[in-house]
A and B are shown apart, each in its own frame.
Chain A
Amino acid sequence: MLAASVILGRLAVRRLSNRCSALFATRRRTRRPTVRGAAPVRLGVAAPIALAIGLLLATNGVLLAGQVLHVLADAAASAAGTAEALFVRGASLLLGLSFAAVVLLGLGTGNRELGRAEWTFPGLLTLPVSRHALLLGKVVEYALIQPTAWLVLLPLTVALALRTEPSGAALLIAIGATLCLSAMAGAARLLAEVWLRRAASAERIRNIQGGCTLLGVLTLYAVSYLALAPTKPEWLPELLAALPDALAWLPCGVPVLGIGAASHPTAAGALVFGSSAVVVAVLLVATAGVLRLGPASPARASRCRRASAAVAALAGHGIVGKEVRLLLRDRTLMVQTLVLPVVVLGFQLLINPALLTAAGEGPQHAAMLAFAVGAYVVAAGCGAVLGGEGGALWLLYTFPRPIGAMLHGKVRVWASIGGLYAAVVLWTAPGARGAALPELLALAAVVVGGVWIHAFLAAAIAVLCAGRGLPAVERRVRSSAFVLFLALAGLYGHAVYAGDGVTRFATVVLAASCAAALWQRVRARERCLVDAHAAVPRDPGFAEGAVASLVCFVLGRSVAGAPDTLVPAAAVLAVGACVAIGRLLRGCAWRGDVEAPQTRIGWIAVAVLVGALCGSVTLGYVWAVGLDHAALAHAFPTVPFAVEERDVLRLLAGVVLAPAVFEWIHRGMVLRGLLALRIPAAVPLGAGLSMLGAPPWLWPAAFLQGAVTGWVFGCGGTAAAASCHAASLATLCLLAKG
Chain B
Amino acid sequence: MSRFVLEICGLTKAYGDALAVENLDIAVAPGEILGLLGPNGAGKTTTIRMVTGLLAPSSGSARVFGHDCYRERPQVMRHVGYLPDEPTFHDYLRGSEVLQFVAEMHGLDRTSRAARIGALVERLDLGEALDDFAVHYSKGMRKRLALACALLHGPQLLILDEPTNGLDPFAMRTLYALIAELAYDGVAVFYSTHLLDQAERVCQRIAILKGARLAAMGTPEQLRGSLAPGASLEDAFFAVVAERSASAPAESPPGVPV
Contact = CB atoms under 8 A, between A and B. Distances in A.
Interface of A: 34-38, 115-117, 202-203, 206, 298, 300-301, 303, 305, 308, 312, 317-319, 321-322, 325-326, 329-330, 389-392, 394-395, 397-402, 406, 472, 527-528, 530-531, 533-535
A123 to B, nearest CB: 16
B53 A527 contact: yes
A300 B138 CA distance: 12
A427 B123 CA distance: 55
Contact of A394 (B80, B84, B104): B84
Nearest to B14: A35
B14 A322 contact: no
Interface string B88-114: 111111100100011011110000000
A325 B58 contact: no
Nearest to B132: A300
Nearest to A37: B16
30 contacts: A37-B16, A37-B17, A37-B18, A116-B135, A202-B91, A202-B133, A202-B136, A203-B92, A206-B91, A300-B132, A303-B132, A318-B105, A321-B101, A321-B104, A330-B92, A389-B90, A392-B90, A397-B53, A398-B81, A398-B82, A398-B150, A399-B74, A399-B77, A400-B76, A400-B78, A400-B106, A401-B74, A527-B71, A533-B13, A534-B55
A319 B93 CA distance: 12
B45 to A, nearest CB: 12
Nearest to B76: A400
A135 B138 CA distance: 28
Contact of A319 (B97, B105, B135): B105
B102 A325 contact: no
B55 A35 contact: no
Contacts of A312: 97
A303 B131 contact: yes
Contact of B133 (A38, A301, A305): A301
A399 B92 contact: no
A203 B133 contact: yes
Interface in B1-23: 13-18
B88 A390 contact: yes
B87 interface: yes
Contacts of A390: 88, 90-91
A326 B136 contact: no
Contacts of B81: 398
A400 B92 contact: no
Contacts of A397: 52-54, 73, 77
B149 interface: yes
Nearest to B82: A398
A522 B17 CA distance: 27
B165 interface: no
B106 A399 contact: yes
Given A202-B91, A206-B91, 17 more contacts: A37-B15, A38-B15, A117-B136, A202-B136, A301-B133, A303-B131, A305-B131, A322-B93, A325-B92, A330-B92, A390-B91, A395-B149, A398-B81, A398-B82, A398-B150, A400-B75, A533-B55
B129 to A, nearest CB: 10
Nearest to A528: B56
B70 interface: yes
Interface string B216-257: 000000000000000000000000000000000000000000
B198 interface: no
B16 A531 contact: no
Contacts of A528: 56
Interface of B: 13-18, 52-56, 58-59, 70-71, 73-78, 80-82, 84, 87-94, 97, 101-102, 104-107, 131-133, 135-136, 149-150
A18 B81 CA distance: 37
Contacts of B149: 395, 398
Contact of B90 (A202, A206, A326, A400): A326
A400 B77 contact: yes
A319 B55 CA distance: 23
A117 B88 CA distance: 11
Contacts of B92: 203, 325-326, 329-330
Given A330-B91, A400-B74, A533 B105 contact: no
Contact of A36 (B16, B18, B76): B16
A317 B54 CA distance: 25
Query: Which of B74, B88, B97 has the most chain A CB atoms inside 10 A of its CB?
Result: B88
Nearest to A397: B54
A530 B150 contact: no
A708 to B, nearest CB: 38
Nearest to A532: B15
A531 B56 contact: yes
A36 B82 CA distance: 28
A394 B80 CA distance: 14
Contacts of B84: 394
Nearest to A399: B105
A530 B88 contact: no
Contacts of B136: 117, 202, 298, 300-301
A37 B78 CA distance: 31
A532 to B, nearest CB: 9
A390 B105 CA distance: 18
B247 to A, nearest CB: 19
Which 3 residue pairs of A and B lie closest in terms of their CB atoms, listed nearest first?
A: A37-B16, A391-B88, A534-B56
A37 B74 CA distance: 27
A36 B81 CA distance: 30
Contacts of B74: 399-402
Nearest to A402: B74
Contacts of B91: 115-116, 202, 206, 326, 330, 390
Given A325-B93, A326-B90, A397-B52, A38 B73 contact: no
Contacts of B71: 527
Contact of A392 (B82, B88, B106): B88
Given A300-B132, A401-B105, A531 B55 contact: yes
A533 B73 CA distance: 18
Contacts of A394: 54, 82, 84, 87-88
Contacts of A534: 55-56
A409 B9 CA distance: 35
B90 A530 contact: no
A527 B56 contact: yes
Contact of A322 (B17, B18, B78, B101): B101
A495 to B, nearest CB: 36
B14 A395 contact: no
B17 to A, nearest CB: 6
Contacts of B75: 400
A312 B92 CA distance: 12
Contacts of B70: 527
Nearest to A35: B58
Contact of B16 (A116, A401, A533): A533
A527 B91 CA distance: 24
A530 B54 contact: yes
A34 B59 CA distance: 9
Contacts of A330: 91-92
A528 B70 CA distance: 10
A392 B146 CA distance: 11
Contacts of A298: 136
Contacts of B105: 318-319, 399, 401, 406
Contacts of A317: 104
B132 A527 contact: no
Contacts of B135: 116-117, 202
B96 to A, nearest CB: 9
A398 B93 contact: no
A530 B55 contact: yes
Nearest to A531: B55
Contacts of B82: 394, 398
Nearest to A391: B88
Contacts of B54: 394, 397, 530-531
A301 B58 CA distance: 45
B58 A34 contact: yes
A330 B92 CA distance: 7
A686 to B, nearest CB: 28
